[in-house]
Chains A and B, each alone.
Chain A
Amino acid sequence: MVQCDECEKRAVYFDSVTKVKFCGPHFSAWFEKGVAATIEKYHMICPGDKIAVGLSGGKDSTVLLTVLAKLNPDAELIPITVDEGIANYRDDTILAAVRLCERLGLEDKLISFTDICGKTLDELLEKSPEQACSVCGTLRRRALNLAAREAGANKIATGHCMDDEAQSVLMNYLRGDVTRVMESYQTDSDKVFLPRIKPLCRTTERATVAYGLVNHLLTDLPECPYTKYALRAGVRTGLGILEYRNPGTMHNIVTGQEKLLAKLGPREGEVTKMGRCEVCGEPTSHRLCAACTLIEKMG
């Protein structure tokens, strides 16, 4: 039996980078301490914040909402679930989200793609399912922004983990999308969009799901039927293999990107001013925002 570093109980989690091993309760405490340190390091939450939490009902957002409620008992948390309209998938995850909110004593706010563009994702993708992730991502951001603003939130928290961050960095390079690599400081978007926080961005997906299992938060849910079309799926598989063979790969990608941005520094004089979309009034640097451009293109 492998023993916990902190007590005599059996270890249930081993971190292959730091080499620490913990029993369930000590792992949970270690995980929560890590999330709290990330929140503090990046000044994510301030007293009086009203935080909209993107809650899909899946593993990451379930853990995010649970940990935020535990770490910030005085913060006002507003769970928001976006129903994209994906048959045989979203109904189960919405039910999981509603049940979690009931357990935590929070009210889940639901917004659907039909609310914002009159069609479900399935209907939008009838002729082009391979565009699923870009269409879904754009409209989901719109839905989350709208619902958060309507609820009076001043920040939006999402359940992105370190793995998601590492995948995004790599995908930007694979697309040759240097603009997006540097997007965070090339626009004044922070002033016009609700600020986004990612409290799980320095915890691995593995630790996040382990936390969910140790604390019995997770239920078996179906996989999104459109996942197979995503560039992210291939990147995720490749990075997963690299992480297994070379523990710390994800961490190195994410911290490497952070160091790169820090070295480049602020680029005064090159900031793109954000305006307003001619159709919906949402912030954008173009005539139409990404969501309205998409809706116009898809008829």
Chain B
Amino acid sequence: MVIVHLPDGTQTTTKAGTIEEILLRLNLNPYEILITRDNELLLADDFVNETDEIHATSIVHGG
């Protein structure tokens, strides 16, 4: 399963797919979330494999 580090500091797992598919599956707005893998930004159409670990950054700021 793909390990997803969420913006609130928690983590979850999900099955492989494109970034956009994964974000929608996790009820996250693809416009508001940027995904990195090994510190490199991924595009919405990039595919993430079962063994990957990705990091979600929210573009929303808190003040």
A and B interact = yes
Residue among B30, B36, B41, B42 with max Cβ neighbours from chain A (10 Å): B41
- CB neighbours (8 Å) of A237 from chain B are 29
Distance between B27 CB and nearest chain A CB, rounded to angstroms: 12
Distance between B52 CB and nearest chain A CB, rounded to angstroms: 15
Q: Which single member of B34, B39, B40, B62 contacts A224 (CB below 8 Å)?
A: B62
- CB neighbours (8 Å) of A244 from chain B are 29-32
Chain B residue at minimal CB-CB distance from A159: B61
Report the bound CA distance from A243 to B39 in whole Å.
26
CB pair B31 A210 closer than 8 Å: no
Report the bound CA distance from A223 to B10 in whole Å.
14
A136 within 8 A of B: yes
Chain A residue at minimal CB-CB distance from B41: A12
Distance between A133 CB and nearest chain B CB, rounded to angstroms: 8
CB pair A209 B43 closer than 8 Å: no
Chain B, range 3-40, C-beta contacts under 8 Å to A: 8-9, 29-32, 34, 36, 39-40
Total residues of chain A contacting the partner, CB 8 A: 37
- CB neighbours (8 Å) of A243 from chain B are 31
Interface mask (B37-59 → A, CB under 8 Å = 1, otherwise 0): 00111111110000000000101
CB pair A209 B59 closer than 8 Å: yes
- CB neighbours (8 Å) of A59 from chain B are 59, 61
Total residues of chain B contacting the partner, CB 8 A: 22
Chain B residue at minimal CB-CB distance from A27: B41
CB pair A56 B57 closer than 8 Å: no
Report the bound CA distance from A214 to B63 in whole Å.
22
- CB neighbours (8 Å) of B36 from chain A are 213
Distance between A126 CB and nearest chain B CB, rounded to angstroms: 19
Report the bound CA distance from A57 to B32 in whole Å.
20
CB pair B29 A241 closer than 8 Å: yes
Chain A, range 1-54, C-beta contacts under 8 Å to B: 2, 11-14, 21, 24
Q: Which single member of B41, B44, B62 contacts A210 (CB below 8 Å)?
A: B41
CB pair B42 A12 closer than 8 Å: yes
Report the bound CA distance from A241 to B59 in whole Å.
13
CB pair A11 B31 closer than 8 Å: no
- CB neighbours (8 Å) of B8 from chain A are 223
CB pair A24 B63 closer than 8 Å: no
- CB neighbours (8 Å) of B29 from chain A are 237, 240-241, 244
Point out residues on A near B: beta carbons under 8 Å: 2, 11-14, 21, 24, 56, 58-60, 84, 89, 136, 163, 205-206, 208-210, 213-214, 216, 218, 220-224, 226-227, 236-237, 240-241, 243-244
Point out residues on B near A: beta carbons under 8 Å: 8-9, 29-32, 34, 36, 39-46, 57, 59-63
